[in-house]
């Protein structure tokens, strides 16, 4: 979990700082309908002209429906944004601040929104968006699902639910 990201103030944040917590890592882009939906698009208007993917719940809503406590002290939900309002540049700090305000992320105790920098704007990153990974408290990857992995979504959902129940 040595991934280096930045908060809305530009402060460096390493996922390794969350050791001891289960991390549900959402890999996204501000210009992705899936990302907008998983972050909270159904509760808010589209962000920067990007409407949410239809019938996709927010991560928190999905977890709650499955009986997972989204405020459990051993769980962190991290929305890691690698592309800003267009598909070629990383998010700017002011864009991340706008994103956090738009979706009310500051009011969600276990949810963090972070941004990547230009080092992550490569094809391999783009192909993983939207993506979800579950990293255990011991920093081991438990579930990995991204657009390019070819994993069956229903299988991934079952694996996420099974692993989350063990760690929170």
Q: What are the start-end ranges of the H helices in 21-67?
A: 33-39, 59-65
pTM equals: 0.89
Position 132 scores a pLDDT of 87
Contact (CB, 8 A) for 30 and 48 = yes
Q: Cis bond leading into 130, ω under 30°? A: yes
In tens digits, what is the pLDDT along the chain, a chain of 168 residues?
467 899 999 999 998 888 889 999 999 999 988 899 889 876 778 999 999 988 878 888 888 888 999 899 999 999 999 999 988 899 999 999 999 999 999 998 899 999 998 887 887 777 778 788 899 998 888 888 765 566 666 677 788 888 888 888
Position 145 scores a pLDDT of 78
Dist CA 141 CA 16 (whole Å): 13
User: Nearest-CA neighbor of 68 among 24, 27, 114, 104?
Assistant: 24
| 3-state percent breakdown (helix, strand, coil) of the chain, nearest 5 | 30, 25, 45
Contact (CB, 8 A) for 44 and 27 = no
Dist CA 124 CA 66 (whole Å): 31
């Amino acid at each position: 979990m040595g991934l280096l990201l930045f908060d809305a103030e530009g402060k460096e944040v390493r996922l390794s700082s969350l050791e001891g917590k289960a991390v549900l890592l959402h890999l996204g882009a501000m210009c992705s309908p899936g990302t907008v939906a998983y972050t909270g698009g159904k509760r808010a208007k589209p962000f920067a002209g990007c409407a949410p993917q239809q019938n996709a719940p927010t991560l928190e809503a999905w977890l709650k429906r499955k009986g997972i406590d989204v405020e459990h002290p051993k769980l962190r939900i991290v929305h890691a944004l690698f592309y800003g309002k267009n598909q070629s540049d990383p998010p700017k700090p002011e864009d991340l601040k706008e994103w956090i305000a738009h979706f009310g992320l500051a009011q969600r105790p276990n949810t963090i929104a972070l941004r990547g920098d230009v080092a992550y704007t490569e094809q391999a990153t783009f192909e993983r968006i939207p993506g979800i990974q579950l990293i255990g408290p011991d920093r081991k990857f438990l579930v990995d699902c991204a657009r390019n992995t070819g994993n069956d979504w229903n299988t991934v959902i079952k694996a996420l639910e099974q692993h989350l129940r063990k760690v929170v």
